[in-house]
Chains A and B, each alone.
Chain A
Amino acid sequence: MLSLERVGKTYPNGVHALDAVTLDVAPGEIVAVIGGSGCGKSTLLRAVCGLDAPSQGSVVLDGAPITKPNEKIGVIFQEPRLLPWLRVTDNVGFGIEDRPKREREKRVAAALERVGLSDKAMVWPRELSGGQAQRVAIARALVPRPQVLLLDEPFSALDAFTRVDLQDHLLNLWAEFKPTLVLVTHDVDEAIALADRIVVMRPRPGRLSDEIDIELPRPRDRQSAAFDAAKRRVLTALDRSLDRAVNAVEREQKAAQGAAMWW
């Protein structure tokens, strides 16, 4: 069980990015975090993986607080972030360097097989396409068999076809060990295609706005009416989360004008 208890983050420059986010994620659950830009989605993810410590509250995994990167938690970033000086196979094996060579090779080969890149094992990262590189990054994150896998807009830089392809790859990989997935995205279709539950966030400061359970059977048909219905629900929730923010901005602007007149 992954629990966030009133997690807040204020950056040293005074930006209040995240305010008292409380969220429980069950083992094997897929949660998508969605929201407008600047609503603290990435900040939340960085707090969960221990790269940035939260200023308030705590992240707890199976009773143990997470304050620094943990072997049970894997991360996939928006960019592949492969190490350019390692061949694909060494990139995939990056997180299990301490294991015996035989085991390492076996697990790396299996992971490459699963993402369909066995033939690229000895290739340099520079020779991969964007989609292939992100698949290598997924393999690299999964090879150490984390309990929780965090994904920070992992497919946002890819074209629509590659994106859907990679979402399917991800689901196949997930089905094997069923790790907990927390996926940050701004793509509603992606959230509905993947998640059991969608958490909608609201900006300035980032906090939870809505939670929507997606109870569609897998594999999910993106053309189905149920998919569309879910999409409408999520879009409505997103509108709701942003409306408030727009109003708040207007109020601030009016206040500023009023202040100017007062002077």
Chain B
Amino acid sequence: MSLLSMTVAAGQLTPEQRRSRRERLSRYVRPALGLALPLAAALAWELAVDMGLSDGRLVPPPSVIFATFVELAQSGELQRHVLVTSLRVAAGFGIGVVAGTLAGAATGYSTLLRQLLDPTLQALRAIPSIAWVPLFILWLGIFEGSKITLIAVGVFFPVYLGVMGAVMSVDRKLVEVGRAFRLSDTAMVRRILLPAVLPAYVISLRSGLGLGWMFVVAAELLGASEGLGYLLIDGQQLGKPAQIVAAIVAFAIIGKTTDWIIAAVAAPFLRWEDAFVQN
């Protein structure tokens, strides 16, 4: 009876109601779709260990990882390491972004500066950033200085390249509109160049941040007494794979969260974009 009445009710919905219902459904279902694969894999492994197909010693099941994660969080250990790592990334990212933005804007705007600086910077970019580590340690010591510098170097290049490319490829025709309306140099930057480069800038910030998280691990693996990278090494040396995976999960969470923050902050400024995929 109730099933029947529901069917009838559904049949009586206006097209708009049906559409809004479908939209509401897709709003919850679509993000959840991305969770299907990892959840299924986790569940399968949990069951495999549960049924004794594997002892799960080297590849701990999700329940053990979760327990380790909670244990680390409860002791305050996890928060301390996350904070230390995040501060390193924040400092390195900040320095890298400022330097990359300034250098990219200068070389993109001025042909002379590009001819002067870009070949050197491209040559430096060709060096794997990790190769600098021994030198940074010699110059800056084994503590924060060398780590933050390594992260800043990693962040610098994608931001530099992104900004330079974006400034250089600003539509000449739009710049001409600015000239026809007699914009001053500062007005041209504020009203034409900045909005024009913003989409590419956001992307280069996000890839820069990704490299920042990558290099903080490299820096911490090479010698640290705290930080998530230290948790990784500690887990390896003491044979605690669950701790390693817990640290990796922590990386994934904060990496994704910080990336999402950049995207979310930028989104209101990019609503004009005429893109293939509209958000």
Complex-state Cα separation, A94 to B188, whole angstroms: 12
Q: Are B195 and A51 in contact (CB under 8 A)?
A: no
Q: Which of B176, B195, B272 contacts A81 (CB 8 A)?
A: B176
Q: Which of A70, A83, A144 contacts B192 (CB 8 A)?
A: A83
- Apart from A124-B274, A126-B274, what are 16 other A-B pairs with CB-CB below 8 Å? A49-B180, A68-B182, A69-B180, A77-B173, A79-B173, A83-B192, A84-B272, A84-B273, A84-B274, A85-B196, A87-B272, A94-B177, A95-B181, A97-B191, A124-B272, A125-B272
Q: B193 → chain A, closest Cβ, in Å? A: 11
Which of chain A's residues have a CB closer than 8 A to the CB of B191?
A: 83, 94, 97
B87 adjacent to chain A (CB < 8 Å): no
A108 adjacent to chain B (CB < 8 Å): no
Interface residues of A in 73-105 (CB under 8 A from B): 74-75, 77, 79, 81, 83-87, 94-95, 97
Closest A residue to B274 using CB positions: A126
Tell me how many residue pairs across A and B have CB atoms closer than 8 Å: 49
Closest A residue to B270 using CB positions: A85
Which of chain B's residues have a CB closer than 8 A to the CB of A70?
A: 182
Q: Are A69 and B174 in contact (CB under 8 A)?
A: no
Q: A9 → chain B, closest Cβ, in Å? A: 17
- Sorting the interface of chain A by its residue count into under 10, 10 to 19, 20 to 34 or 35 or more gives 20 to 34
Q: Are A75 and B180 in contact (CB under 8 A)?
A: yes
Q: B69 → chain A, closest Cβ, in Å? A: 43
> Which of B180, B181, B195 has the largest count of A CB atoms less than 10 A from its CB?
B180
B180-203 interface code vs A (CB 8 A; 1 in, 0 out):
111000000001100110100000
Q: A2 → chain B, closest Cβ, in Å? A: 16
Which of chain A's residues have a CB closer than 8 A to the CB of B182?
A: 68-71
Complex-state Cα separation, A253 to B272, whole angstroms: 52
Closest B residue to A141 using CB positions: B180
Q: Are A69 and B181 in contact (CB under 8 A)?
A: yes
B179 adjacent to chain A (CB < 8 Å): yes
Q: Are A124 and B271 in contact (CB under 8 A)?
A: yes
Complex-state Cα separation, A77 to B127, whole angstroms: 46
Q: Given A81-B173, A83-B192, A85-B195, A51 and B181 touching (CB < 8 A)?
A: no
Q: Are B181 and A81 in contact (CB under 8 A)?
A: no
Complex-state Cα separation, A74 to B177, whole angstroms: 10
Which of chain A's residues have a CB closer than 8 A to the CB of B273?
A: 84, 126
Which of chain B's residues have a CB closer than 8 A to the CB of A94?
A: 177, 181, 191
Complex-state Cα separation, A77 to B174, whole angstroms: 11
Q: Are B272 and A86 in contact (CB under 8 A)?
A: yes
Q: Are B272 and A51 in contact (CB under 8 A)?
A: no
Closest B residue to A75 using CB positions: B180
Q: A261 → chain B, closest Cβ, in Å? A: 45
Which of chain A's residues have a CB closer than 8 A to the CB of B176?
A: 51, 77, 81
Which of chain A's residues have a CB closer than 8 A to the CB of B196?
A: 85
Complex-state Cα separation, A36 to B228, whole angstroms: 70
Which of chain A's residues have a CB closer than 8 A to the CB of B179?
A: 51, 69
A-B contact pairs, 9 of them (CB 8 A): A51-B176, A51-B179, A69-B181, A81-B174, A81-B176, A83-B177, A94-B177, A94-B181, A125-B272
Complex-state Cα separation, A69 to B273, whole angstroms: 29
Interface residues of B in 241-279 (CB under 8 A from A): 271-274
Complex-state Cα separation, A59 to B175, whole angstroms: 23
A22-56 interface code vs B (CB 8 A; 1 in, 0 out):
00000000000000000000000000010100000
Q: Which of B174, B181, B195, B272 contacts A126 (CB 8 A)?
A: B272
Complex-state Cα separation, A139 to B174, whole angstroms: 17
Interface residues of A in 59-74 (CB under 8 A from B): 68-71, 74
Closest B residue to A124 using CB positions: B272
Q: Given A124-B271, A124-B272, A83 and B180 touching (CB < 8 A)?
A: no
Which of chain A's residues have a CB closer than 8 A to the CB of B174?
A: 81, 83
